[in-house]
Amino acid sequence: MADGVLQDKVVLVNGAGRGIGAEIAKLAAREGAKVVVNDLGAAVDGKSDADIGPAQQVVADIEAEGGEAVVNGGDISKWDDAQEMVQQAVDTFGQIDGVVNVAGILRDVIFHKMTEDDWDSVINVHLNGYYNVARAAAEHFRKQESGAMVHFTSTSGLVGNVGQANYAAAKLGIVGLSQSIALDMQRFGVRSNIVSPSAFTRMIETIPIKGPEGEARRKRQEAMTPQKIAAPTVYLLSDLASEVTGQIFYVRSNEIMLMSKNRPVRTVHRSDGWTPQKIHEHAMLAFKPHFLANDRSADYFVWDPV
């Protein structure tokens, strides 16, 4: 554990009972961090009763390797729980230096059949929950003039997917949240970055397989393990990444991609102003060659992972 890139740092990882979050928590500990392992322990859809058993197992795994960790079973979608888990880090280990927002649920359904509860449940965990934890940590980061946040998004938001309007909206909202944190808190030495993971987890396992293309895609996904996501995340928490903030990284197996942000692609103007007809005849003709296709993420990322 000694001389790791997170030596003497304290990190809170939510959604760390299984999958990607668990691997991040364990690698952070191997790299010298003291870790608060948060997990509500609910099912993928967020409907089942809480079970902190998986988070307790992650803590046991960390301690078995000589690391330090504690369990937290709070619900990140609740303001008070988010405050308490950050305070637990400070009370237990004396400080907090990093936050990883990776917890999530799915309620996949085609848009015209999506219920209010389907929408609210996903937004509450992903967007409101990430805000709650980041906001709780921000007070400590501001006072100590240091800190790193890593928030998880998805290509469902960055590119697109079918039947995930709630999830895509939340995940793209997280990109805006991270960018705002990076801008607002850079004066205090606080960094905020995004990771979009591609790995086979129990969330991915719930997505139905349709036809030969779906089978092939599932085989590719199964080869992409959660462990591959841990190293880039831990790097972003470390002082090695002191000059990296406000960025979006897509991680797929051994590939790391820097994703673009929304910026102008093409500009047109008329000195005499616009009418709807002129927009159709002039602006759209100029813009059309630059339109991006309405791809699903599976349509775009078609090559096998490295």
Q: Would you name the residues annotated as active-site residues?
A: 167
Q: Which of 172, 185, 168, 135 is nearest to 248 (CA)?
A: 172
From the list 226, 232, 237, 172, the residue with the least C-alpha distance to 204 is: 226
Q: How far apart are CA 253 and CA 251, in angstroms?
A: 7
Residue 224 contacts residue 199 (beta carbons within 8 Å): yes
d(CA 287, CA 268): 8
- Residue 100, beta-bridge partner list: 13, 150
Residues 6+ apart with CB under 8 A from 277: none
Give, in degrees to the nearest 5, the angle at Cα 94 between 8 and 55.
80
